[in-house]
Chains A and B, each alone.
Chain A
Amino acid sequence: MNTPKIAGILLRLLIQREDKSPLSGDMEEVYHDLQHRNGKFQAWIWFWGQVLVSLRTVIWYSALRSISMFRNYLKIAFRNARKQGLFTAINVSGLSAGLACCILILLWLQDEIGYDRFHKNFKNIYRVIQENRSSNESITMSTAPFASVPSFHEDFHEILYSTRFRGGFSNWRINYGEKTFYNDNLCVADPEFFKIFSFDFIKGNGEGALKSKNSIVITAETAEKYFGNDDPLGKILLIGDDEQPMEISGVLENIPARSHLQFDIIFNIANAADWWRADLASWKDSRTSVYILTDENADPSGLDKKIENFVKDHDPQTYYYLSLQPLSDIHLRSVLTWDFDNYMKGNIRYIYLFSTIAIGVLLIAGINFMNLSTARSAKRAKEVGMRKVHGAYKIDLVKQFFVESSLLSVISLILSFFLVFTALPVFNGLSGKTLNFSAIAEPGILISLLSLMVITGLISGIYPSLYLSSFQPVNVLKGITPGNIRFGANLRKTLVVLQFGLSIILIFATGVIYSQLNFVINKPLGFDKKNILSLDSIGGFRNDPETVKQELLNVPGVRKVSWSIIPNGYIEPTTDISWEGKDPEEKVIMYRCIGDYDYLETFGLKMAEGRFFSKDILSERTNYILNESAVKAIGMKSPVGKPFTFRDSEGIIIGVVKDFHQGSLHSKIKPILMTYSERFFSVHIKISRENSSVILENIEEIWEKFVPGRPFKYRFIEDIVDGFYRSEEKTGNIIKYFTFLTLILSCLGLFGLASFSAEQRIREVGIRKSLGATDISIIKLLTTDFVKWIGIAVIFSCPPAVYIMGRWLNNFAYRTDVGLTMIIFTILSVLFIAILTVSFQSFRTARSKPVDSLKYE
């Protein structure tokens, strides 16, 4: 009694309804007959043969039918789109803007998550992180002690190679023949660097490169800058002021943009030992990052545990703990107190943020589509009834409406390509990326785009198509409104509430970001950041600071000059300190600020007690100044005059400086230890506000005199300080655009709905007017309903908005409050915009003449 199962199912699918049982009955009869006569196998073959033969015919006929129906659907879709131009425009522009947002964010995401993936050993490369734990804070840094490099693969068999790396040497003089260049982006590394990372060599190879102390590797771009088209291999460059000769042993392809390691020239690390006068076998000194390559079968978490006390095991006097950070985490998931990064670092939080925004914008556009289509459905009801009367099945109508929604989403996708193409430069400017439009053609992106389009088409088409196709032809043709239209109206209201809720959250977020930025930029920092130049101290500036200082002070407009550390740059943490009454087990971290006697006045710092360094006292090298936080951290009462020791040099505390914000306002004020030095690596010059260009010219002349041949490069402290908030500023800018977009989209949707409801109530309005209603009362009638929805949106969206932005503000140690005024401002502006949108349409309806609306054709 059993015919082949799959063939049977296939057969039943192929046959049209009414033929179903007779035909498959016939087939079964013959099948059994054959089975009796010729055996099961032949019968099986026959059955399958029959099904396959029929398949061809059926497919051909159904394709023919679908094609002709499809043509009809397309025709109707185009006619409808043209007839209701406003709705179509709202739909298409909304969807294409939403899709364009998604595409931009997709391109950006694709760029962000692909960092460092070009290395062949991507999965097995780790960076070593060093942690300094103390009683007041714990500092994590992307460094490890010098000595760890040869020791790593001696101690752990699962570590195949390890290398030290330090980049960011900048503004070096390099001579080639007669020509002099200045180069940034120099770095040092061990020869194993090229065994771990796969940077491609154009000339030379990873084996021979960096083998000896004076061999270097350069990038193609750098090679072209120095040698043009000549072969760079074996050429000699003279490096630095003392003109050390270096031979080029390899040329690399330009470093991919998506690499967290960026450099032009790479030196053997042995040179750095000379430059820094450091001992590369030291366990205390850690100025380089360390990268390791592990064996494929190694257990990373086990290794992570094993290396924790690695430094301590070798040198019990140190306090560093090590851990491993996978290469894949460096770009997006690395949160360290201090990191060497000379590229544009990413942050996983922004990935989440922007993905959410992309989905939100698309959602809003999709909602517009659904809302307007269902709202219009009453107009299509007669068409649906007619089609049903003429024999359309429900599935045919569903198909028809899907064809309509897909058509609109295809048009939107094409339009969105144009939008992306035009908006890409702006987006690149905002995000600081160099995204390329051609990346759209990458298979990953293309597939996700097409699926995005299909999903949008399906989701926005699903409700209208199911809803419209369920109309009863008898009722709609008689003119009875479909029974479930109430449900449609409720859904529309819910969706509008959702849209405006999202818009309110975004507007609120933008407001909070900008007010926090305003707060951090205007907050008094405890020092004067205005009109201070920062220069590198090199050449004559470094050798003879006193003479240079006098010359500079002679320039009219120069107020104060100080050789000192940049107060807002990296300052060195230290635990090598002791004071009177210190518990020997206690460990306190202080940050060391270095400067001369003019430091206080140049930066406008204030003393709390005691005195600052003075020009007239010779023993200042062993005198120390703390800030108020440092005094608090060590719990000392009346510190002035008390003994204090820093790195074996005993001295006394001569003063306490008032707290000032050394770093960004993301973190609390740190305990600071100030030590004296007349000749630091940077000079700060306080100038008057007027005539700054003339003053700068004069300073440049002095620079030329003492440091001939070096470019005059300076920065303003104010720019450095404001630069701490660049990522927030960038986020604020991008969010601003998205907020604007979502608001526009929501308003477009609202406008569409308002004009639809006005159109539906045109007779009611006519009757009311002829019975004596005023324009104002009509406008009120048409507007109140919408305003009610917006009110509900406000109530629902305020708590999450306040919560989310409160979390964001917690990133800052010093923050504004989410003020009531901000909330009220957001609500009022949304209400204002919404009322404006709705009343524009209401006004037109209210002004219309009752005669026009009440007369029949």
Chain B
Amino acid sequence: MKVLTRSEEILLLAIWHLGENAYGVTIREKVKEMADMSIAFGALYVQLDILVKKGYAKKFLGEPTPERGGKRKKYYTLTENGKLSLQTARDLNSSIWEGIPDVAFKQTEQ
């Protein structure tokens, strides 16, 4: 299985956090909140579409609501594959970080 990139990981985590309510606006806000990254909408959808294409997430259209000028929302949820990849990413993270003491950082900071 391929390893997730960092931005893929962050986006997938944001979608996971949001659960039922993951669509453009909320995903963008969540990413900002979690990782202090701001993504333009245009770029956001390109990245989300890549996730869909790779099979980590899937999308479905919501009902039109009046507060958005009658426009539909596009919701995203994780696929099983996506969840699995996130799991792998976390395992990989902890395994490669294992045994590195905080001291190492302190030395480099000097």
B interface residues with partner A (beta carbon < 8 Å): 23-25, 28, 40-43, 45-46, 61, 64, 67-69, 71-74
Contacts and interface: CB of A to CB of B under 8 A. Distances in A.
Contacts of B23: 22, 26
A30 to B, nearest CB: 6
A756 B23 CA distance: 58
Contact of B67 (A27, A32, A53): A32
Contacts of B40: 50, 53-54, 57
Interface hub of B41, B42, B64, B73 (most chain A Cβ within 10 A)? B42
A14 to B, nearest CB: 7
Interface of A: 1, 14-15, 19, 21-30, 32, 50, 53-55, 57-58
Contacts of A24: 69, 71
Q: Which 10 A-B pairs give the minimum distances between C-beta atoms?
A: A54-B42, A25-B71, A26-B24, A22-B74, A25-B68, A53-B40, A21-B71, A26-B25, A28-B69, A29-B68
Contacts of B71: 21-22, 24-25, 28
A32 B71 CA distance: 14
B74 A19 contact: yes
A57 B46 CA distance: 10
Given A22-B61, A26-B23, A30-B25, A1 B69 contact: yes
A28 B65 CA distance: 12
A23 B24 contact: yes
A27 B41 contact: yes
A21 B72 contact: yes
B41 A22 contact: no
A23 B41 contact: yes
Contacts of B25: 26, 29-30
Given A22-B71, A26-B23, A30-B25, 17 more contacts: A22-B61, A22-B72, A22-B73, A22-B74, A23-B42, A23-B45, A25-B72, A25-B73, A26-B24, A32-B67, A50-B40, A50-B42, A53-B40, A53-B42, A54-B41, A55-B42, A57-B43
Nearest to A2: B69
Nearest to A27: B41
B69 A54 contact: no
25 contacts: A14-B42, A15-B42, A21-B64, A21-B71, A22-B24, A22-B61, A22-B73, A23-B74, A26-B23, A26-B24, A26-B41, A26-B68, A26-B73, A28-B69, A28-B71, A29-B25, A29-B67, A30-B25, A50-B41, A53-B42, A53-B43, A54-B40, A57-B40, A57-B46, A58-B42
Q: Which label, helix, strand, loop or mixed, suits the secondary structure of the A interface?
A: helix
A27 B24 CA distance: 9
A241 to B, nearest CB: 92
Nearest to A58: B42
Interface hub of A28, A29, A53 (most chain B Cβ within 10 A)? A29
A326 to B, nearest CB: 60
A54 B43 contact: yes
A5 to B, nearest CB: 13
A29 B25 CA distance: 8
B89 to A, nearest CB: 26
B68 A28 contact: yes
B43 to A, nearest CB: 6
Contacts of B45: 19, 23
Nearest to A21: B71
B26 to A, nearest CB: 9
Contacts of B67: 29, 32
A819 to B, nearest CB: 76
A25 B67 CA distance: 9
Contacts of A32: 67
Nearest to A19: B45
A9 to B, nearest CB: 14
Contacts of A19: 45, 74
A23 B27 CA distance: 12
A57 B41 CA distance: 11
Contacts of B61: 22
Contacts of A14: 42
A448 B24 CA distance: 50
A27 B41 CA distance: 8
Contacts of A53: 40, 42-43
A738 to B, nearest CB: 56
Nearest to B65: A25
A7 to B, nearest CB: 12
A231 B23 CA distance: 90
A391 to B, nearest CB: 15
Interface hub of A23, A25, A27, A53 (most chain B Cβ within 10 A)? A25
Contacts of A29: 25, 67-68
Nearest to B69: A28
Contacts of A58: 42
Contacts of A27: 41
Contacts of A50: 40-42
B18 to A, nearest CB: 14
A75 B49 CA distance: 31
A53 B71 CA distance: 22
A42 to B, nearest CB: 15
Contacts of A57: 40, 42-43, 46
Contacts of B28: 26, 30
Contacts of B74: 19, 22-23
Contacts of B43: 53-54, 57
A32 B66 CA distance: 12
A25 B45 CA distance: 13
A14 B46 CA distance: 12
B109 to A, nearest CB: 34
A157 to B, nearest CB: 70
Contacts of B72: 21-22, 25
A23 B74 CA distance: 8
A23 B28 CA distance: 12
Nearest to B46: A57
A25 B23 CA distance: 11
Nearest to A53: B40
Contacts of A25: 24, 68-69, 71-73
